[in-house]
Structure 1
């Protein structure tokens, strides 16, 4: 593999790793570990920790999908492997 190809895949893997870290930290961290600290904050009739574990994690996951697609399109353009 060429140096440019290696740089492209390293950037791709780094983006995937950070997306997975965010995806894991939000429901586990806010929904489980920090739930006692978020107990007094109410969102939609439930405490914030419960809300993050149920709906917030899904919204973060959807946001990560769009962010990943946006960043990968930019990465593809930067390395000249885009579809257009």
Structure 2
């Protein structure tokens, strides 16, 4: 009976660690998303207007093209990192 209680406690600790790591990845991704879309594309656009990229200023580029590329990068990063995390905690798909 004591072994079962110990295994249950270890499983609960592993589950908590998995979800803490998962939430950390989500928070980092959301901060990057907010910084790129709202920060660079809107708030910091006047500061970035002096830097030319592809015939336009950097703030406009982030609002129109850069944010889309960063979002695609975040999708691939999230999928890669979650696959790695799943394998680490033994909940990966086989």
TM-score (norm 1): 0.93
Matches for 1:47-62 after TM superposition, within 5 Å: 47-62=57-72
Greater RCO, 1 or 2 (C-alpha within 8 Å, sep 6+): 1
Task: Indicate whether 1:5 and 2:15 are aligned.
Answer: yes
Q: For this pair of structures, how many residues does the alignment match? A: 84
Task: Indicate whether 1:35 and 2:45 are aligned.
Answer: yes
Matches for 1:17-36 after TM superposition, within 5 Å: 17-36=27-46
Deviations 1:32-62 (A, max 9, x none): 1211111111112211000001110100000
TM-score (norm 2): 0.84
Name the SS for the 1:36 alignment partner.
helix
Kindly report structure 1 stretches of 4+ aligned residues shifted beyond 2 Å.
Answer: none
* Higher normalized helix content (fraction of residues): 2
Deviations 1:63-83 (A, max 9, x none): 000000000010001101111
Q: Which runs of 5+ in 2 are unaligned?
A: 1-10
